[in-house]
């Protein structure tokens, strides 16, 4: 039961009840940013850039003038690409723990899980501070308001889809979401890479010595189905323009035709 003082505060601020997490200054700042972003891109399209090997077969320069959600270590391609994605989204603890310094050095907006705050330098303030999202592993749902709880759906791509919905995009276009891993094993099991990475656009992505979790493709497919339905019910759409990808949840589109 929410006490009257706290209830009044939540009503005035129009914030979700997150069990006290909103009291942290970083969380308050993040909620303010997310509130400003809600519906800010209404009617526009966005590309969600996965990190599969198929990206090597695409002319990514075509994305320069579109809004792009980059995921996890997408920044490894920035030097060759010649420009940065519009923002970065990352929620996996192992990825953020090992790459926090690289992510903090980026000049683009970063959307990270609230859990990851322990990996962020305490001196981060103002524009240097990431926007934290309250993501969880449990209770599957599709959040239409990113200020509340976001189910991770076993893939950062699903979190990016929820964020794209929150921001008002009419169309979310997936690329580089190959949904295919040559490294096999128990879903979500943490392993250490023993060599070059065959599963992403760069062999250094999860290179030798990098700790990462094996994919949970079945859970991801459940999440993607929820995203497809949520966008469709709102008169919007998610389409998959990945070249040669194995994901079958979303309608397919030819990547190059999207720029004609």
Q: Cα separation of 48 and 53, whole Å?
A: 15
Q: What is the DSSP string of 242-256?
A: -TT----SS-B--TG
pLDDT(147) > 90: yes
pLDDT(57) > 50: yes
Per-residue model confidence (pLDDT) at position 122: 56
Residue 70 lies in a domain: yes
Per-residue model confidence (pLDDT) at position 112: 97
pLDDT(9) > 60: no
- What the block records as the tokens of 232 is 């469709």
Per-residue model confidence (pLDDT) at position 243: 96
Per-residue model confidence (pLDDT) at position 119: 92
More confident residue, 139 or 122: 139
- What the block records as the tokens of 194 is 């023993």
What are the pLDDT digits (tens) for 70-93? Answer: 999 999 999 999 999 999 999 999
Lowest pLDDT segment from 163-172, 179-188, 250-259: 179-188
From residue 166, give the alpha-carbon distance in Å to each of 1, 94, 175: 28, 26, 20
Domains in the chain: how many in total? 1
pLDDT(11) > 60: no
Taking alpha carbons only, the member of 115, 42, 111 closest to residue 74 is 111
Alpha helices, DSSP H, located in 55-152: 78-81, 93-104
Residue 211 lies in a domain: yes
Phi and psi at 77, nearest 5°, equal -95, -5
For range 177-187, the mean pLDDT: 93
Per-residue model confidence (pLDDT) at position 193: 95
pLDDT(62) > 70: yes
Per-residue model confidence (pLDDT) at position 16: 47
Residue 2 lies in a domain: no
Lowest pLDDT segment from 5-9, 69-73, 153-157, 255-259: 5-9
**pTM listed for this prediction:** 0.90
Lowest pLDDT segment from 16-20, 157-161, 193-197, 240-244: 16-20
Contact 131, 108 (CB under 8 A): no
Burial class (CB in 10 A: 0-12, 13-18, 19+), 147: buried
What are the pLDDT digits (tens) for 199-246? Answer: 999 999 999 999 999 999 999 999 999 999 999 999 999 999 999 999
Per-residue model confidence (pLDDT) at position 12: 33
Per-residue model confidence (pLDDT) at position 76: 98
Residue 11 lies in a domain: no
Q: What is the extent of the structural domain holding 197? A: 19-259
Q: Highest mean pLDDT: which of 20-34, 128-142, 143-157?
A: 143-157
Residue 229 lies in a domain: yes
Per-residue model confidence (pLDDT) at position 15: 44
Q: What is the CATH number of the domain that holds 178?
A: 3.90.1480
Per-residue model confidence (pLDDT) at position 128: 75
């Amino acid at each position: 039961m929410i006490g009257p003082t706290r209830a009044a505060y939540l009503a005035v601020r129009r914030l979700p009840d997150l069990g006290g997490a909103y009291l942290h200054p970083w969380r308050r700042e993040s909620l303010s940013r997310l509130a400003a972003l809600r519906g800010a891109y209404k009617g526009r399209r966005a590309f969600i850039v996965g990190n599969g090997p198929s990206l090597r077969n695409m002319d990514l320069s075509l994305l320069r003038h579109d809004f792009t959600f980059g995921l996890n270590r997408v920044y490894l391609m920035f030097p060759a690409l010649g420009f940065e994605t519009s923002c970065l989204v990352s929620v996996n603890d192992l990825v953020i723990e090992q790459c926090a310094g690289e992510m903090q050095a980026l000049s683009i907006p970063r959307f990270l899980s609230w859990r990851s705050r322990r990996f962020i330098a305490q001196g981060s303030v103002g524009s240097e501070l990431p926007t934290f999202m309250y993501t969880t592993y449990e209770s599957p749902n599709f959040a239409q308001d990113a200020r509340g709880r976001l189910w991770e759906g076993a893939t950062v791509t699903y979190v990016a889809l929820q964020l794209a919905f929150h921001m008002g995009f009419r169309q979310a276009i997936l690329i580089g979401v190959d949904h295919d891993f040559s490294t096999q094993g128990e879903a979500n099991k943490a392993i250490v890479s023993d060599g070059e990475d065959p599963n992403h656009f760069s062999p250094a992505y999860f290179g030798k010595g990098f700790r990462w979790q094996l994919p949970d493709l079945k859970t991801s497919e459940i999440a993607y189905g929820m995203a497809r339905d949520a966008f469709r019910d709102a008169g919007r759409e998610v389409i998959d323009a990945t070249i040669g990808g194995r994901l079958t949840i979303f309608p397919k589109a030819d990547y190059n035709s999207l720029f004609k």
